[in-house]
Amino acid sequence: MSITVLGVNHRTAPLEVRERFAHAAHEVPGALARVLDAGASGGVLLSTCNRTEFYLAEPHAGVPDVVWALLGERLSGERSVQQYGYVERDRDAVRHLYRVSAGLDSMVLGESQIQGQVRDAWETSRPQAGPVLHRLFQSALLVGARVRTETRLGTGTASVPSAAVAVASKIFGELAGRAALILGAGDMAELAASCLVAEGARVTLVANRTYERARAIAEQLGARALTLDEAWPHFAEADIVLCSTAAPHAVVTWERVAPAIASRGGRPLCILDLAVPRDVDAAVGQLENVFLYDVDDLQAVAGQAAAHRRGEVPAAEGIVNEEVERFWSWYGGLAVVPTLKAFRETLDTLRALELERAQRRFQHLSPEDREQLDLFSKALLNKFLHHPTVALKAATDRGRGYALLEALKELFGLERGDAS
Amino acid sequence: MLVEIHLAALALYGLSAVLALAPFAGLPLSGRWTLGVASLGAAIHAVGVAQLSLVGLGPALSVLAWCLMLLQIGSELLLRAGTVALFTAPLAGGLVGLALLLGLAPGAQPSAGRNMWFILHVTLSVLGLALLALAFISAALYLLQFRELKAKRFGQVFQLFPPLERLDRLNHVALVAGFPALTVGVLLALGYAIRYAGGMRADPAQLVWGSFTWVVLGWTVWVRVVRHWAGRRAAFASIAGFAAVVLVYVALKLAQPGTARFL
């Protein structure tokens, strides 16, 4: 009986590798089926942009090899999956999942998106999860919620895209229905745009130096594509402008956008310049009701929150440890009854064998004496079993039963069936 | 009993102000505490207001303080702009304290305090004034937040103050609601004077200040609604308007001392 997690994450593998290991929801049942066929009573696959992890209940010895082989199929060249991977077992595996769910293992400390991803992974894997992992993932979600409620680990905005959303929210309040204009086709702008869209903002226009690239992104976001030169008059209508071009100098200049901004009638305009080097001339930020922020500004917002969050880590780790013990207590209790039953059956079989052997030697005994001998052997066995049974149950109640159970199985060969 | 009720309200408004300030001192207190204490204070104060005879400066200040607290509660519940408590709670506490110092007993014309026209006139006029004060407060918060956002300072004002547009909306709502309240209040005063007080015999200072306040509030509404001023310009207009109303009041008060009447 054990729980194991195998996988890769942002600390052990570069983005290029993590991308290859990412599983879409429809790929999860097939991948888990292969792993379960190799011998595990349950499995959950958690796949996000920062991690791909297989959580397995009671895996046989060969199962990790199947997981690595499955991931290895996605890796090109001569590279070994295991150089990027890690394995955690039992308590450490439980602690790992709880830390993931709480955001303690995230690239952005305390980010809350991971909790939804853990929930999605559990939902997707549910038919193959089995009772132990079902309970484990349920408790992981509760641990994540508890950490976010009882500590301030999740407060503030600790990434540049989320800082961009926070800054825009401080200007507009609700972002629902706000019109966003994207200049350039950089990854950061695309990420920040998706954060804005998640808050209800509408990306109405995407402008880029090359029209084709603008159109590709515009189609994804349901927006209209423009060339950069066509974009300047639209500063009159947009509420938020996200800039992320690869231009080596400022493309948004006072001369280009001041006339459009003057026609806004005092409505605020939030310009988020995510490009390095910067896309927006600093003079644009001096215009009335224009709020201009570059990457350094947004990192300052994110940095404040991250520093604050780091102070909450000990409290969050304390909650995780407490919950690991609670889960392990339940898990140990789950195993104690069948193990004790097997222990008793094994010793009773031995008793019966030895009694039969003794009775063959003592043919002269009357039926009454034989019965007395049988009762004596049973009483002796009960005396022998009493203390270990009580101690094991007590240890389980204290959350320390698992080690004793393992020792019992090992000493009496309970799983191998070779006690005799 | 009236004094004790006002003392209790004063204590709760003071506590509400302290609770509103707590997050700025690094204490992670929920805004619900401020709201709860303010609501309790306003509920107790309501009992006192119901017993007041609305004649004289003391009772008028008490009603003004009560209206301000109701507006603070409304701002939090309707627009999630609880930070106005930073201004409204101490202001309301100060007004209640001043009302206690001046005395809550009715001044001249105590019988007027039982006339429904008069009660409505005072209540609506004071409500209009409180809404003008709320517009001033939201405008001040707007300018503070605007300055922080422009200067890219992401400190406590950035984190704890409401968003700019929400403050602008609060300013707009306060002005648009305040103008009709004050207008009806002034019309009721005219009606009361003609119908019950034997003709227009109002104090000249009261007339000047009442008319001036109505014109100022009308102007701020006009620039917002007709001229579509918004944001910083509208905030400056609200602050200038409120400052002018207060300055004219102080000037008239200095020219004509006495606390028997509202002025």
Nearest-CA distance B39 → chain A (Å): 25
Contacts of B230 in chain A (CB under 8 A): 265-267
pTM, two decimal places = 0.67
Q: Are residues B244 and B182 in the same domain?
A: yes
Q: Is A389 on the interface with B (CB under 8 A)?
A: no
Instruction: Based on the fold, state whether residues B82 and B182 are members of the same structural domain.
Output: no
> What are the residue ranges spanned by the domains of chain A?
3-154, 160-302, 336-412
Q: What is the mean pLDDT of chain A?
A: 86
Catalytic residue among A49, A195, A243, A270: A49
Statement: A3-154 belongs to CATH 1.10.3720.10: no
**Cβ pair A170:B145 closer than 8 A:** yes
Q: Which of A239, A230, A188, A175 is nearest to A206 (CA)?
A: A230
Judgement on whether residues B204 and B92 belong to the same structural domain of the protein = no
* Same structural domain, B48 and B135: no
Are A172 and A270 within 8 A, CB to CB? Answer: yes
CA atoms within 13 A on the CB side of A104: 25
Residue A392 pLDDT: 82
Facing residue for A171 by CB, picked from B149, B154, B233: B149
Q: Does A263 touch chain B (CB under 8 A)?
A: no
**pLDDT value at A113 more than 80:** no
B195 domain-assigned: yes
- How confident is residue A398, by pLDDT bands cut at 50, 70 and 90? low
Contacts of A267 in chain B (CB under 8 A): 230-231
CB distance B220 to B135 below 8 Å: yes
Which stretches of chain B drop beneath a pLDDT of 70?
106-114, 197-202, 257-263
Residue B157, chain A, CB below 8 Å: the answer is: no
- Contacts A285 to B, Cβ<8 Å: 150
Which of B176, B188, B151, B168 has its CA nearest to residue B226? B176
Tens of pLDDT along A229-256?
Answer: 999 999 999 999 999 888 888 999 999 9
* pLDDT computed for residue A218 by the predictor: 86
State whether B230 and A265 contact (CB < 8 Å).
yes
Q: Using N-to-C axis directions, what is the helix angle for A28-37 and A113-150, rounded to 10°?
A: 80
Q: Is residue B43 part of a domain?
A: yes
Q: What is the per-residue pLDDT for B19?
A: 92
What Å distances lie between residue B106 and B38, B51, B204, B260, CA to CA?
Answer: 26, 11, 21, 8
Quote ipTM for the complex. Answer: 0.84
Q: pLDDT value at position B199?
A: 61
State residue B254's pLDDT score: 83
How many whole angstroms separate alpha carbon A111 and alpha carbon A108? Answer: 6
**pLDDT (tens digit per residue) in B196-223:** 766 656 677 778 888 899 999 999 999 9
Chain B interface, mutation test: which of A149, A150, A157, A170, most B Cβ atoms within 10 Å?
A170
- Please count the structural domains in chain B: 2
Candidate ranges A107-111, A414-418, B115-119, B155-159; pick with highest mean pLDDT: B155-159
Integer angstrom CA distances of residue A74 from A28, A70, A85, B140? 14, 7, 14, 59
Query: Measured between alpha carbons, how far is residue B131 from residues B40, B65, B170 in Å?
Result: 21, 11, 10
Look at residues A149, A167, A148 and name the one whose alpha carbon lies nearest to residue A157.
Answer: A167
**Is B199 near chain A, with CB under 8 Å?**
no
Domain boundary among B114, B142, B172: B114
Verify whether residue A243 is a known catalytic residue: no
User: What is the pLDDT, as a whole number, of residue B58?
Assistant: 86
In a domain, B154, yes or no: yes
Determine how many CB atoms are found less than 10 A away from the CB of residue A320: 24
Please, are residues A285 and A268 in contact by the beta-carbon 8 Å criterion?
A: no
* B232 chain-A contacts, CB cut-off 8 A: 266, 288-289
Minimal C-alpha gap between A258 and chain B (Å): 17
Q: d(Cα A198, Cα A176) in Å, to the nearest integer?
A: 9
Beta bridge pairs of residue A372: none
Please report whether residue B263 resides in a domain. Answer: no
Which CATH number applies to A160-302?
A: 3.40.50.720
Q: What is residue A417's predicted lDDT score, i.e. its pLDDT?
A: 44
Residues 6+ apart with CB under 8 A from A90: A2, A3, A4, A402
Q: Which domain holds residue B13?
A: 1-114
